[in-house]
Amino acid sequence: MAKRKKSTFERLQSETWNRQQRRNLAQQLSSADPGLEVVHADAAGIDVGGASHYVAVPPDRDAKPVREFGSWTDDLRKLAAGLNSCGIRTVAMQSTGVYWIALYEVLEAAGLEVYVVNARGTKNLPGRKSDVQECQWLMKLHTYGLLRNSFQPPEQIRAVRNLWRLRDRWVEECGRAIQQMQKALTRMNVQLANTISDISGVTGMAIIRAIVGGQRNPWELAQLRDRRIAASPEEIARSLEGNWREDLLFELKQVVKAYDFYQARMSECDVEIAKYMALLPTHEVAEGNKEAEPELKAGTRRKNHPAFNLRSELKRILGVDVTCLDGIHVMTGQVLLSEVGPDWSAFPTENHFAAWLELSPRREVSGGKVIRHVKPDGRNRLANVLRMAAQSLCRSDSYLGARYRSLRGRLGGPRANKAMARYLACLLYRLLTKGQAYLDRGAQHYEDRRRERERIMLERKALHCGFRLVPVK
């Protein structure tokens, strides 16, 4: 039986908290004795800055409870030593830009438990804001357990994450260089992009490099066509009859050099990423996930893919093959490893993991009613690739593809992408925590279940109106 909602009179007569009580709690918190239970007795607060950091400890631990330290390494070590001498065990600080990272590593090496908190949860500082007040406010909130720690992967995973994000920037720069090449060719009326699907492929780059090398004869350039190109040599030759302006040729030459530079940086990142991934421990692969892996030829790689067998490395480290999920590409699996790592103990349930990805709904509630849905301020990198993975299921003949098409028909594109990305995140959580293989039940299975649900719903509606559905023979 559903529980009856209390009326306003009953709620005010009971011991539940009303607005005046909550206002009194806020006033107590800003006072010297808020009357709350102490959760972290040995807590300190740090206001992180670019040039210096303000540190606050309990008044009974030091004659000068608030001190300022410089941002250079020697002062950071003095800061950590001072906290240890005061008996501090846990520290809270805001994630201010990238200034907190060096401080975090020094405090972590000193054996302190560091809480990196979002500024959204600490912004309600009473009175006029200053650096001294900020660190004291952080210490007070942390002492009474009112701050939530942000997820931080282990040190080895952070190294892989930094290198993978650097490589991702080089990939983006390569994409911009390709756009500049296409723009320069179009301005010279060289319509190569209308003849072949990708000018950065084997045929496109061979023709562009020949143009930069001084070749202007379209029929000679057309002979560089790969046999897999659908366009005929004559069609390619006709598209290569341009005006060959010297300034645009110079621009094309510069962009090709930049493209080669970014490609070389990507290859160097691949070597470093492979080295760090080889140091990660091996997880036992579940029986249902053991299958033969295709070998990658030495010195070869697919476009924008690392020059080593990334799939087998991910399977070795994670213990499961995440690419068994439709829409989850091997590059998506690498983002998963670099952002989270193989240890998911920081997320008690799949709902916690989805909330960390900002894929769970955030609501503003007033008086027990949802006022509006709040759009998150930032985007999680892993959530972005999961959205793209969800969108790729549009034409997939699988259970996940049928589910995505059903969601898109009911919710529209953007909302369906987010909902399906959350479902993929939950499936990944189950794979990596349970270690079981994923079995695709097919699109027909989902359609049969959907029709069964519709039939049951129609029967209930008909019965409610005094009718009965009779199946057509």
Query: Would the pLDDT of 379 be above 90?
Result: no
Query: How many H helices and E strands in the chain?
Result: 17, 7
Q: Buried b / exposed e across 200-236, counting CB within 10 Å, b at 16+?
A: beebbbebbebbbeeeeebeebbebbeeebebeeebb
Query: Would the pLDDT of 288 be above 90?
Result: no
pLDDT of residue 428: 93
Of the candidate ranges 169-183, 242-256, 333-347, 441-455, the one whose mean pLDDT is the lowest: 441-455
Query: Would the pLDDT of 158 be above 50?
Result: yes
pLDDT of residue 163: 95
**Residues 407-441 pLDDT 10s:** 998 889 888 999 999 999 999 999 998 877 777 78
Query: Would the pLDDT of 139 be above 80?
Result: yes
pLDDT of residue 388: 93
Q: Which residue has the higher pLDDT, 188 or 367?
A: 188
In Å, the largest CA–CA distance within the chain is 91
What is the pLDDT confidence band of residue 2, given thresholds at 50, 70 and 90? low
What average pLDDT does this structure show over 250-277? Answer: 94
State the pTM of this model: 0.81
Place of tokens 């005929």: 232
> Distance (Å, rounded) from C-alpha 398 to C-alpha 440?
7
**Residues 8-38 pLDDT 10s:** 556 545 544 455 555 665 555 555 566 678 8
> Distance (Å, rounded) from C-alpha 246 to C-alpha 429?
56
Rg of the Cα atoms in the chain: 30
What average pLDDT does this structure show over 316-335? Answer: 90
Query: Would the pLDDT of 296 be above 50?
Result: no
> Distance (Å, rounded) from C-alpha 235 to C-alpha 445?
46
pLDDT of residue 37: 83
pLDDT of residue 308: 84
